[in-house]
Structure 1
Amino acid sequence: MTALRGAAAYGGRGAGAYARVGVESATMSASPHQLIVMLFDGAQAAIRAARIHMQAGHTAEKGKAISKALDIVNNGLAAALDTDKGGEIAERLASLYDYIARLLLAANLHNDQESLDQAERLLEDIASAWRDIGSAGAQG
């Protein structure tokens, strides 16, 4: 391995490590509200990546990106719901997250861009409302 290639490989690992530390630091200092916003951002980024891979015909990468979005929706957003405190709103969100998960599965199985688009729109609607709640709380 040449010195240049070695430095480039090291630099790539270093940049990845730096990014992970940045994400870890951000999550450790974030409020619960900010953590949910980060989950929405991550799910939406994964869906955008899935769309790019779907359009390019990269099936494996599309599947990985959709799996990441599903993981965030199911094990992040849905798992964070508290039906005892959230009542009917939490139950409705749980149903909506389940529907979004089914859309993502259909998008993956059938290369269905419309299902992917619909999942992204629904997540953006919820994320937008969530961000508005955070802005209102910060002002009041």
Structure 2
Amino acid sequence: MYAMAAMKQYQSVNVQAQVSDATPHRLIQMLMEGGLTRLAQARGAMARGDIPLKGTLIGKALGIIGGLRQGLDLEAGGELATNLDRLYVYMTERLTEANVKNDPSILDEVSELLRKVKSGWDGIAQ
């Protein structure tokens, strides 16, 4: 039990260090990575029948997608920002449905959409 607590503390410190040194571009990448991780964890919880954990993890993924959406500059970002906003709204609706219906295929769909957005975002850095 102590080892698990120590590991969580280490991960928390590690993430805090990464965030403090990150560029705005990297922060968005980290959000997307976190969203994908929470979706994968929610899928695992769903498969195990751990409904409370599934709900918590989908809630965290929803929060991350909400954060990505809030970071959009709809005035300066033009059509791209508007389309991303619509996609994030769609993801939010689908995740809510996945939670209610306990449907892992919806989690897979949203994960794939987020991976595609992340792939494009990662390409900007190169």
TM-score normalised by the shorter chain: which range applies?
over 0.9
**Greater RCO between the two (CA within 8 Å, min separation 6)?**
2
What is the rounded CA distance, in whole Å, between the counterparts of 2:96 and 2:122 in structure 1? 26
Q: Does residue 121 in structure 1 map to residue 112 in structure 2?
A: yes
Percent of pairs identical after alignment? 37
Q: Does residue 70 in structure 1 map to residue 62 in structure 2?
A: yes
Aligned-partner residue type, residue 95 of structure 1: R
Of 71, 74, 79, the match for 1:88? 79
* Structure 1 unpaired stretches of 5+: 1-7, 136-140
> What's the Cα RMSD here?
1.1
1:32 match: 24
Equivalent residue pairs, number: 126
What is the rounded CA distance, in whole Å, between the counterparts of 2:102 and 2:60 in structure 1? 16
1:59 match: 51
What is the rounded CA distance, in whole Å, between the counterparts of 2:69 and 2:81 in structure 1? 9
What is the rounded CA distance, in whole Å, between the counterparts of 2:27 and 2:114 in structure 1? 15
Cα offset, 1:106, TM superposition: 0.5
* Structure 2 unpaired stretches of 5+: none
What is the rounded CA distance, in whole Å, between the counterparts of 1:16 and 1:114 in structure 2? 29
Q: 5 Å matches for 1:97-116?
A: 97-116=88-107
Cα offset, 1:16, TM superposition: 2.3
What is the rounded CA distance, in whole Å, between the counterparts of 1:12 and 1:82 in structure 2? 40
1:3 match: none
Cα offset, 1:17, TM superposition: 2.1
TM-score, normalised with respect to structure 2: 0.95
Per-residue Cα deviation, 1:40-97 (whole angstroms, up to 9, x for no partner): 00000000001111111110111111001000001x2101101122111111100000
What is the rounded CA distance, in whole Å, between the counterparts of 2:84 and 2:37 in structure 1? 20
TM-score, normalised with respect to structure 1: 0.86
